[in-house]
Amino acid sequence: MIKSEKLSKIFRTDEVETTALNEVSFEIQRGEFVAIMGPSGCGKSTLLNILGLLDNPSSGSYFFLGKDVSKSTERQRASMRKHNIGFVFQNFNLIDELTVFENVELPLIYLGMPSKERRVRVEEVLNQMQIGHRAKHFPLQLSGGQQQRVAVARAVIAKPALILADEPTGNLDSAHGEEVMNLLNDLNVNGTTIIMVTHSQRDAEYSQRVIRLFDGQIINENIKKSIV
């Protein structure tokens, strides 16, 4: 599903040049649950942004679903994203002005789904995430755990093949964190590929493989359990 070859990302300001990723190569198969770990500043998030088509690499190639997307335009990337990728962030990133229902509905609107179908689908997913009763609330009226469940609901609503999670439990207490990890695990069991950046060894336990980064390079890959 994902294949990267010598991916590099260099950030330049007027005076400083920082290599965030240095010739990173790896492959991820459909249905895998992969955790990316490493200390702060090692390039985890940069890698996730490239994998999520939010950013282009400085050099190297990136094959997503068999297609080289490393030089795609913003328009092409936007289109790939909305059809194939769901995102979960550490700080949830819900739109404060929209209700829970409207936040979750958003990807379907951009996919051009008719409103009736959207309603059925959103209700279904909200119930699945056990926040159906909060549909009309605004994000700021919810607890962190609830907000993250909304974010997960939004990430899966369009049934993407890939979910990218950036420290999904980073802002949650352990009980809420576990809830969210269970949700992600369930999605993976049902066939969704998941790539998760995390600091937490406990969260990484949910994955089948851990990619460790240090100073922009992969230092090792552990396969912990067989692919389901």
Residue 105 or 203: the one with the smaller Cβ distance to other proteins is 105
Q: What six digits make up the tokens of 173?
A: 């207490």
Place of tokens 């890698």: 47
Cβ closest to other proteins, residue 99 vs residue 208? 99
Structure tokens at 117: 């179908």
Locate 93 and state its tokens. Answer: 């990133």
Binding site for other proteins (CB under 8 A): 45, 49, 52, 54-55, 74-75, 78-79, 81-83, 87, 89, 91, 93-98, 102, 105-107, 109-111, 154
Which CB atom, from 33 or from 87, has the smaller least distance to other proteins?
87
Query: d(Cα 183, Cα 90) in Å, to the nearest integer?
Result: 15
Smallest distance from the beta carbon of 54 to other proteins, in angstroms?
A: 5
> Considering beta carbons, is residue 102 or 178 the nearer one to other proteins?
102
Cα 181 to Cα 131: distance, rounded to the nearest angstrom: 16
What Å distances lie between residue 7 and 3, 20, 67, 119, 120, CA to CA?
10, 10, 15, 40, 41
* Residue number, 87 or 206, with CB nearest to other proteins: 87
* Distance, CA of 203 to CA of 217 (rounded, Å): 22
Residue with tokens 């955790």: 35
Cα gap 100→94, rounded to integer Å:
9
Residue 183 CB, shortest distance to other proteins, in Å, is: 19
- Residue whose tokens read 């940069």: 46
